[in-house]
Structure 1
C-alpha cells in the first residue's frame, strides 16, 4: 500500500510526482483527510536528494493545510520555500487542491544510519493489534479518568474509549 509513487520528474528546481492508492485500497480514501499511504508516497518524492548515499527525511512542518478529503490519487508539486525548506502542493487528478505545506524542513540521514536505527527488529515504531483475554493477569479495563487518577497503573490497560466492544468482534 505504501508504494504509491507512480512517476516523478523535475523541471529546474521543481519536482513533480503522481501518486495513487492501489486499486484495492481506493475505497478507504474517504476515511482520511489525506490517506496516509498517499502522504507517505508524496514524501518519497519530496525526500529525493542529489547527495550520494544520503536521504533527507521530513523533520519540521509549517503551514500545513488540508483543502479537501477523500482523494485516491494525487499530483504533487515540490519546490523550495523562502526559508530553505520544501513547499509542497498536493492536488487531486482534476487539479483541485487537497493539501498544501508552506515549508517542510528535512534532515539528512545515511542508509547506514537508517539500518542502525532499526537494527534486527525492523522499524523503530510499529503498530500491532494484540487481542487480550478479558481478565488476563496484570490487565485492567479503565477509563481515561481512572488512568489519570490512579496511583499505580497496571502494566497492561485496555482504555475504554466509549466504543461498543462489539465493533471489534471478529478482529484478530
Structure 2
C-alpha cells in the first residue's frame, strides 16, 4: 500500500494510469509481481499496453540494489535499453511478472497472464543507477521544459553559395554540383542546400517523392562530411513548409519534414558542420 507514496516521496511520481503494481514478492535476487491496468482502461490493440509494461518494469525499483536488500533505499534503477523481446498474445489487462538478474545492471523480465500462459519476455533489460538526489533535481525542474522559439531572419542574412534545389530525379545532381564547386577551388564558409516545398510531388506520389528527396539530401550530406575540401565549411539546409512555426500553420512539405529528421541526426554525428 505504501509503494507509490514511497516513490513520490523521492520525487518519482507516477500518475494514476501508471500505478499498476498490486502485489510483489522478493525471492533472493528476483522479484515477482502482479500488475494491472486501472479499471476502464482497454488493453486491446496493444501487444502489451504501455502502462501495463511500465508497471511490470517498476519491479526494478523493488529489486533495488540487485537483490542486496537495498530495496527502496538511496538509489533506484531505471530502464535504459531492451533486447530480446518476444510477445505472445495481446490485449492483457492484468499480468504476472518475474524480474530476475542476468548480469550486472541487467535483468530479464517474464510476463504471463493470470493463468500462467506466456504473454512475453524481455531477455535483457539494462538499467542505469540513479541517485535520489538526481531524481529530486529532475522533479524540481518539471516546469522548466525547453522549447523552440523562432526568429525572423532577412534572406540577405543567409550568405553562402547555393547548391540546389534538390533535383527531381535520382541523378545525384546536387552531389555533382557540390563536386564541381569544390573542384573550382571555391570553398565558401556556408553552402546552402534548398529543399523546395513542392519536392514531394510528382511521379510516385507523396511517398515516392519523400523517399527520393531524403535519398538525395542524404547523398549531399554524405559527400559534404566525407570530402576534406569542405572541412572548414558549414552546410545550411533550407526547407519551406516543413515545420509549424506559428499557430494556424500546418506542415505543407512532407519531404521537408523528413529532411528535418535526417539532418538533425547528421547534426548529432557531425556537430558544427
Same fold (TM over 0.5): yes
The offset of 1:32, in angstroms, is 1.2
- Runs of 4+ in structure 1 displaced over 4 angstroms? 122-125
Structure 2 CA distance, aligned partners of 1:18 and 1:123?
Answer: 35
Among 93, 97, 105, the alignment partner of 1:72 is 93
- How many residue pairs are counted as aligned between the two chains? 140
RMSD: 2.8
Q: Is the 8 A contact 2:89 2:119 kept in 1?
A: yes
- Write out per-residue CA displacement over residues 82-126 of structure 1, whole angstroms, 9 at most, x where no aligned residue: 56610110001111111101111111101210121243325979x
Cα-to-partner distance string for 1:52-107 (whole Å, 9 max, x where unaligned): 31000011212111112100000001111256610110001111111101111111
- Taking structure 2 as the reference length, the TM-score comes to 0.46
**TM score, norm. by length of structure 1:** 0.70
Deviating more after overlay: 43-52 vs 116-125: 116-125
Determine which of 20, 42, 55 is the counterpart of 1:41: 55
Aligned to 1:29: 43
1:144 equivalent in alignment to 2:160? no
User: 8 Å contact 1:65–1:101 — kept in the other structure?
Assistant: yes
CA contact (8 A) 1:118 1:124 kept: no
**1:90 is the counterpart of 2:111:** yes
CA contact (8 A) 2:105 2:128 kept: no
Q: Structure 1 residues 116 and 65 mapped into 2: Cα distance closer, same or farther (>3 Å)?
A: same
8 Å Cα contact 1:83/1:103 also seen in 2: no
Once the 2 structures are TM-superposed, how far is the Cα of residue 145 of structure 1 from its aligned partner?
2.5
What are structure 2's unaligned runs of at least 5 residues? 1-16, 147-245, 261-273
Considering fraction of residues, name the structure with more strand: 1
| Greater RCO (CA < 8 Å, at least 6 residues apart) | 1
2:29 equivalent to 1:16: no
